[in-house]
Amino acid sequence: MMWHAIRARVPALSRRTRSFSEQSDVFDRAAKLRQRARALAAPDAADFDYLREAVAERVVGRLRDVARSTLADALDLGCHTGHLRRALEDDAGVDGACAAGISRLSQTDRSPELVAACAAENKGDVLEAVSCVVADEEARLPFDDEAFDVVLSSLNLNWVNDLPRALSEVRRVLKPDGVFVGALLGAGTLGELQYAFAAAEEERTGGVSPHCSPAARLADCGQLLQRAGFQLITVDVERIQVDFADAFVLLDDLRRMGEQHAPAERGPNVSRDAFLAMAAAYGALFANDDAANSVQASFEVVFLIGWAPHASQPKPDARGSATKKIGELPPTAWKPGTDGTFEPA
């Protein structure tokens, strides 16, 4: 089968995005709890935390870049086994201070098993105080209003059905001029796998069913932060590529991470024939040019930064206060360079 020929016929369904105007649940969150509990129970569970560790380091790096003052009290929303805590401690300088001066960290997760595992690892070697509590991101968090200087979240909010409410709760527990730094998987995540499944089913059955969980679009993320009451919003995307021996190894890693598909409404099971066709399509379409003949998988990570309002923050000029029209402004002093950056005109 010429998979490159059929790729052009793969419908837009292969790239699924979320609509936050929908009222029905997208994810089976109970199934996700069971998946993560099974993954945690495996003796080699830590070997499959590479993506969470990489993203946690990037979240802490962005916090260090944007922090304007000491942010002593922090909340880790969806702590899993403590990747953000470890990233904060690893990032501590020679003076032992964590990024942005964080000294007290509260950790929450919806999974009792993950909270217990996280608490067992908290040694208190760098942070003054660390606590863990079971809490649901879609419910009212067990904290007072304006309790934290910073809220962090890494690869957890992409499994929340009511993301607008979760962000509103983050806004509620932030102090004025507190900052939220989060990361969730975007719509481009596992695009190769989505294409391979769609190509295989299109060729075998003439139809396509979703086999990857939908994700938030970049434009929606900024709007949701604004709707929740955040100011000075920044949204950026980073694509992390991981190589695997083949599509079967990729799927096995996702299962061992506890990050496999968890839809609220399950479609028909994939036939063995279509499954093998998917693996063949994946290898044909997304193989790396290396001796190992490995395949690539992309994880699109959307990073969100938003600040709780405060009088000290810069405000936009009032509408109609401009003194010049756009046509009266001088020409720009910069022009696009050949390498994608800008250079003097």
User: For position 144, what pLDDT does the model report?
Assistant: 96
pLDDT in tens, 50-67: 999 999 999 999 999 988
Which bin fits 270, alpha (ψ -120 to 50), beta or left (φ > 0)?
A: beta
User: For position 94, what pLDDT does the model report?
Assistant: 57
User: For position 203, what pLDDT does the model report?
Assistant: 75
Q: What is the pTM of this model?
A: 0.85
Let me know the angle formed at the C-alpha of 173 by 171 and 179, rounded to the nearest 5 degrees: 55
User: For position 339, what pLDDT does the model report?
Assistant: 60
The values of phi and psi at residue 303, to 5°, are -100, 130
What proportion of the chain, given as a percentage, has pLDDT over 70? 84
User: For position 6, what pLDDT does the model report?
Assistant: 44
- Provide long-range contacts, Cβ within 8 A and 24+ apart, for 284-292: 284/3, 284/4, 285/3, 285/4, 285/7, 285/192, 285/195, 285/196, 285/199, 286/192, 286/195, 286/196, 288/243, 292/245
Domains contained in the chain, CATH given: 26-197+209-264+295-344 (3.40.50.150)
Average pLDDT over residues 1-13: 47
Average pLDDT over residues 205-212: 68
d(C-alpha 312, C-alpha 328), whole Å: 32
Q: Residue 9 — very low, low, confident or very high, per pLDDT cuts 50/70/90? A: very low
pLDDT in tens, 291-319: 677 999 999 999 999 999 988 888 777 77
